[in-house]
């Protein structure tokens, strides 16, 4: 059972994703649990402030270390049965290592992942030094907070849990599992606006179909993502 704990100042943002699709399925099958914590519940000042002005000046606000540290320690104390080796605290930020399928696979083998969603200009450096184990970015672009990146990780990890996605096949054969992009897929009708389904797919010749799909995968990877070939994602 993978326990996912999220720390955010916008817990409501997570109600959608945990109640639908693969994540709902994973929860229903008791393969994972998703808990959302409101960072403001861990503040000690009377205004429930989670951020403050940066030392040295400059624009914007920085998230303070104390509420984040306390939230993580509270969650760890609640999860005391978890083997420490299989518990990871993740900070989402543009400075992190870019997320790849390999990291999702690693995370899917954990017992507990605690995700810190930052906002504003960033977090006090001591969050990195004292609290987080991993810093992850979902890509080279700037968002307003770590909440959507957290959902990306949750979605990508849960579908890898044994028994969540119906046919194991659909995970093994798909894109990235073999460092190749997917081959083209068709479903009915046979002709749509003059475009025909490739003859080989209708032939029923499974050997030929497999050969065609491999060729198409390779061709599209060479053309669109040559960087994927020979890379160990």
Query: Which residues of this chain interact with ligand 4GX, rule CB under 6 A?
Result: 91-94, 118-119, 122-123, 137-139, 141-143, 145-146, 149
| DSSP secondary structure of 85-149 | GGEEEEEEEEEEEEP-HHHHHHHTT-SEEEEEE--TT-B-HHIIIII-SEEEESSSS--S-SHHH
Half-sphere exposure of 92 (CA within 13 A, CB side): 28
CA–chain centroid gap for 167, Å, is 21
**C-alpha distances in Å from residue 103, one per residue of 17, 69, 84, 110, 214:** 21, 24, 18, 11, 25
Q: Shortest gap between Cβ of 186 and ligand 4GX (angstroms)?
A: 35
* Residue whose CB is less far from ligand 4GX, 151 or 180: 151
Q: Shortest gap between Cβ of 204 and ligand 4GX (angstroms)?
A: 46
* Residue whose CB is less far from ligand 4GX, 9 or 180: 9
Q: Shortest gap between Cβ of 51 and ligand 4GX (angstroms)?
A: 11
Q: Shortest gap between Cβ of 141 and ligand 4GX (angstroms)?
A: 6
Token couple for 157: 């990890």
Residue nearest to ligand 4GX (CB): 118
* Residue whose CB is less far from ligand 4GX, 11 or 122: 122
* Residue whose CB is less far from ligand 4GX, 103 or 119: 119
Q: Shortest gap between Cβ of 74 and ligand 4GX (angstroms)?
A: 20
* Residue whose CB is less far from ligand 4GX, 7 or 164: 7
> Could you tell me if 62 and 127 are in contact, meaning their C-beta atoms sit under 8 angstroms apart?
no
In eight-state DSSP terms, residue 54 is P
């Amino acid at each position: 059972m993978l326990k996912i704990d999220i720390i955010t100042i916008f817990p409501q943002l997570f109600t959608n994703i945990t109640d639908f699709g693969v994540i709902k399925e994973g929860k229903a099958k008791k393969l994972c649990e998703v808990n959302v914590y409101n960072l403001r519940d861990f503040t000690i000042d009377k205004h429930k402030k989670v951020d403050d002005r940066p030392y040295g000046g400059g624009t914007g606000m920085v998230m303070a270390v104390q509420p984040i540290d306390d939230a993580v320690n509270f969650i760890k104390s609640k999860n005391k049965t978890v083997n420490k080796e299989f518990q990871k605290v993740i900070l989402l930020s543009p400075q992190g290592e870019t997320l790849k399928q390999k990291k999702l696979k690693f995370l899917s083998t954990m017992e507990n992942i605690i995700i810190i969603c930052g906002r504003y200009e960033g977090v006090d450096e001591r969050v990195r030094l004292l609290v987080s184990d991993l810093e992850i970015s979902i890509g080279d672009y700037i968002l307003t907070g770590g909440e959507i990146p957290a959902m990306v990780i949750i979605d990508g990890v849960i579908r890898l849990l044994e028994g969540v996605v119906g046919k194991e096949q659909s995970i093994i054969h798909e894109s990235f599992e073999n460092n190749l992009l997917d081959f083209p897929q068709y479903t009915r009708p046979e002709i749509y606006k003059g475009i025909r389904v490739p003859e080989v797919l209708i032939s029923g010749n499974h050997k030929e179909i497999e050969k065609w799909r491999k060729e198409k995968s390779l061709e599209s990877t060479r053309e669109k993502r040559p960087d994927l070939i020979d890379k160990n994602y």
